[in-house]
Each structure stands twice: as structure tokens, then as C-alpha cells.
Amino acid sequence: MLTLATDLDALTRFGRALADPVRCRILLALRDAPAYPADLADALGISRTRLSNHLACLRDCGLAVAAPEGRRTRYELADPRLGHALDDLRTAVVAVAADRTCPDTAEKGCC
């Protein structure tokens, strides 16, 4: 049974999903259109196993949903407003010093 997340819970789930660059790329791809896992893996250049793990995280966070279609499963954003939120976040001006990196991702950079 699906339940609605509280404001704080929703933001925490969104933050967890965005904490990984691959999940960021998946969300941006799903923002453009629903997709099948095999197509997403090919488009993102990652293994299907790795993609499956990230899709599970996005489902657990409540940001993506799986829609069975016969023998295949299509993934899409759980709410169309998430696409607008991603656009707003992507185009927001982030104030950081040029010589600073995200503390948790010093080696790989932020998404």
C-alpha cells in the first residue's frame, strides 16, 4: 500500500536519490520520457545489473515507479512534478568557491 511522504521525508528521499551521479542521470532520462531498463542501460552506458540497483533505490525513494507492460517493465517518474523540480534544481545557481568540492564526494565531484 502506497502512502504519502511528509515534507521532510520527501526531501530526504529526494536528496538520497540525487546523491549519486548515476541516479541523477536516470532521473533526467526519465524526466524526458518513460523508458525500459535495457534502453536506459544502453543510453547511460552502464550494466543492466548496476542500473537495476539504482532503479530499486529510486523506487524505494518513491521517485520512480515500475509499470508492467506484458513481459517488460517500463519506468517513469512517480509524479510529473518531479520533472519540473529536476529542471528547477538543474538550473538553480549554486554559490560555491572555485576551489571547493562537495565534502562527501571530493574524489568524484557532485552530480
In a domain, 85, yes or no: yes
How many domains would you assign to the chain? 1
- Determine the pLDDT at residue 39: 97
pTM for this one? Answer: 0.79
Q: Given a cut of 80, is residue 45 above it in pLDDT?
A: yes
* E strand or H helix that includes residue 102: none
- Determine the pLDDT at residue 12: 87
Q: What is the mean pLDDT of residues 84-107?
A: 72
- Determine the pLDDT at residue 110: 39
Gap between the Cα atoms of 3 and 49, Å rounded: 28
- Its domain, for residue 93, covers 12-98
Within the chain, residue ranges assigned H as helices are: 7-18, 21-32, 37-44, 48-60, 81-91
- Determine the pLDDT at residue 8: 84
For residue 81, what is the domain's CATH number? 1.10.10.10
In a domain, 111, yes or no: no
In a domain, 4, yes or no: no
Supply angle C-alpha 76, 79, 83, rounded to 5.
80
Which range has the top average pLDDT, 6-15, 30-39, 86-95? 30-39
Gap between the Cα atoms of 92 and 99, Å rounded: 20
